[in-house]
Amino acid sequence: MNRGFSCYLDLIRVGAALLVFLHHLSLDFGCYAAPGSGCVLVPFHAGHSAVVLFFVLSGYVITYVAHERERTLSAFAAARIARIYSVAVPVLVLVMALDGLSYATGYYAGVPWYQYRSVWKYLAVALSFTTDHWFLAENAFSLGAWWSVAYEVWYYVLFAAAFYARGPWRWILPLAVGAVMGPKLLAMFPLWLLGSLVYLLHRRVPSWPAPAAAVLFALTLLGVAALLLSSATLGVDAWTDALSGGWITRRLRFSQWFAGDLVIASVFALNLFAARYLRFAFGWLAAPIRFAAAYTFTFYMIHGPVLKAFARYVDDSMLPTALATLAFTFAFGAVTERQKDHLRQWLARVAMYARVPAASSRSP
């Protein structure tokens, strides 16, 4: 993967995270409920649509690392576990602390208190990322953004079952994992697969005419922007839901827009395909883009609860709250993101020690 294309992927990741942030900022300050207020920063559905870009990017990057770096299941598993839990666990601790502060100060709305009455059960559901399996519809306490990470984690499991297994297990294991996941996760899996498909196409097509790539890139970039900012795909979702008799809206929660999401994901996948054949030169912007991209996972996970906490306890003005949230999430991310490598090294040592008895038992 050349540096220019890698930096473009980082830029998309940062842009998508900011779209989600601006959506939550508008939502928390009641902008959508007050038409004409002038504080609506992005269309209401743009926040969800931005997550679609994350899914496509994830499919591309995970397929890339499996082919180029993490060639064994143990290496893949260690990298994914370290990446997810190094952020997820501290974020969950912070969210639970903020929920406790809400309880102590009398702010009861928006927190599923029934989960705290059976805290170990719901903590296990959260940390196993099964909050949306089949017809479960749980948040990780007051953290609404957990759903998309739960989808991602099980897409990793499904991918690993197909990619690393051999023989008949290559078919049996993915079917078993899919049966465990249920319809909500499977409904959006094609979005993730589109990113994987683009990477495989890049392997098969090492070069492409630059003029054609530039035209396709420009058209699809405009298409993605138009779809994100116009919410035009909601018409597709309404038509699909009508065909199901309203079942999709009633039962699929965040996956209820999967049909329209597939339209956005398809256009974005074409954009990624074309981008690989262009020579991006970000110059001095490359460093800040990469810096910001390194914090997007933590930022995406934690900005929602932190926004509410700052607005509630510190300043209820939009701009100071936004700036304080950005500063806090980057400070928090500076701690969480550094734990990834430590956790991966620890997992590697555990795996090494686990192999020692097996190796010695085979000795003559």
DSSP, residue by residue, 205-226: -----HHHHHHHHHHHHHHHHH
362 pLDDT tier (thresholds 50, 70, 90): very low
Q: Is the pLDDT of residue 356 over 50?
A: no
pLDDT at 357: 45
Q: Which long-range contacts (CB under 8 A, 24 or more apart) does 169-172 make?
A: none
pLDDT at 89: 93
Rounded distance between C-alpha atoms, residue 153 and residue 89, angstroms: 14
Mean pLDDT, rounded, for 320-349? 80
Averaged confidence pLDDT in the chain: 90
pLDDT at 177: 96
Domain ranges (residues) in the chain: 3-354
38 pLDDT tier (thresholds 50, 70, 90): confident
Q: Is the pLDDT of residue 358 over 50?
A: no
341 pLDDT tier (thresholds 50, 70, 90): low
Mean pLDDT, rounded, for 340-347? 67
Rounded distance between C-alpha atoms, residue 344 and residue 120, angstroms: 26
In angstroms, the Cα distances linking 91 to 18, 96, 167, 298, 359 are: 19, 9, 39, 8, 39
Rounded distance between C-alpha atoms, residue 296 and residue 10, angstroms: 9
Q: Is the pLDDT of residue 337 over 80?
A: no
pLDDT at 15: 95
pLDDT at 1: 75
6 within 8 A of 281, measured Cβ to Cβ: no
Q: Which of 271-275, 288-292, 301-305, 354-358 has the highest mean pLDDT?
A: 271-275
pLDDT tens sequence across 49-83: 999 999 999 999 999 999 998 888 988 998 899 89
Q: Is 8 helix (H, G, I), strand (E, B) or coil?
A: helix
Distance of CA 81 to the CA centre of its chain: 15
pLDDT at 361: 34
101 within 8 A of 309, measured Cβ to Cβ: yes
- Residue whose C-alpha is closest to residue 179's, from 147, 133, 148: 133
pLDDT tens sequence across 227-248: 998 888 999 999 999 999 999 9
pLDDT tens sequence across 92-133: 999 999 999 999 988 888 889 999 999 999 999 999 999 999
pLDDT tens sequence across 163-203: 999 999 999 999 999 999 999 999 999 999 999 999 999 99
Rounded distance between C-alpha atoms, residue 216 and residue 274, angstroms: 6
